[in-house]
Amino acid sequence: MNPIDDFTDTSRIMSGLLERLDPADLDTATPCARWSVADLVDHIVGDVFVFVGAAGADASAPVGPVTADNAVSRYASATAAVLAAYQANDTLNRDLATPFGTFPGSMVLSVVIADQLTHCWDLARSIGAPVVAADELVDNALNTWTAFIQSDYRDGEMFGDAQTCGPDASNLDRLAAFTGRNV
């Protein structure tokens, strides 16, 4: 597992979905409790800056709401900030303080990847777009969530109870089900 490569792959998937956004999609409900597509896209673009800050880099997110017109460029700026922060100064091997505790940088970036990949599934479902991710990428994200998600995180806000899915479910569906999504 190489978290830089996994982040780059996940970012490509998310960018492709964001390119499909239509302004009419922004008010659509998502599989995330109480979030519209606009809320989800704000989270996808904005919350990664928390993890940029944890790496000791400038965590200044762009000001103003993310829209269908600026989502791709805002996301490109966010992903560039993440890559710069985690490729610098041996960040992947240092312990980083996050809102969830202190973890090695590689684990922090793996959580960002798992979160982004899960939200790829959410966004794709919400806007009716196809989403494909390599099995190894999804397996890495599921391994991260398995190690990271504690029972007290399954409060219905961040994560719900793990759900079941059929035997023909994709790996991405299994990832979403593990985080509490109904697939």
- Residue pair 20/124 in contact (Cβ under 8 Å)? The answer is no
Considering the chain, what percentage of its residues have pLDDT values greater than 70?
100
**How far is the CA of 113 from the CAs of 23, 79, 90, 143, 180, in angstroms?**
26, 11, 18, 11, 17
Q: Classify residue 162: in a domain, yes or no.
A: no
Residue 154 belongs to a domain: no
Each residue's pLDDT tens digit, 72-130: 999 999 999 999 999 997 999 999 999 889 999 999 999 999 999 999 999 999 999 99
**Domain total in the chain:** 1
Query: What CATH number is associated with residue 100?
Result: 1.20.120.450
Q: Which residue segment(s) compose the domain that 57 sits in?
A: 9-132
Buried/exposed 41-60: b ≥16 CB within 10 Å, e otherwise:
bbbbbeebbebbbbbebeee
Has residue 106 been placed in a domain? yes
- Domain annotation covers residue 140: no
76, part of any domain: yes
Q: Using pLDDT thresholds of 50, 70 and 90, give the confidence band for residue 33.
A: confident
In a domain, 48, yes or no: yes
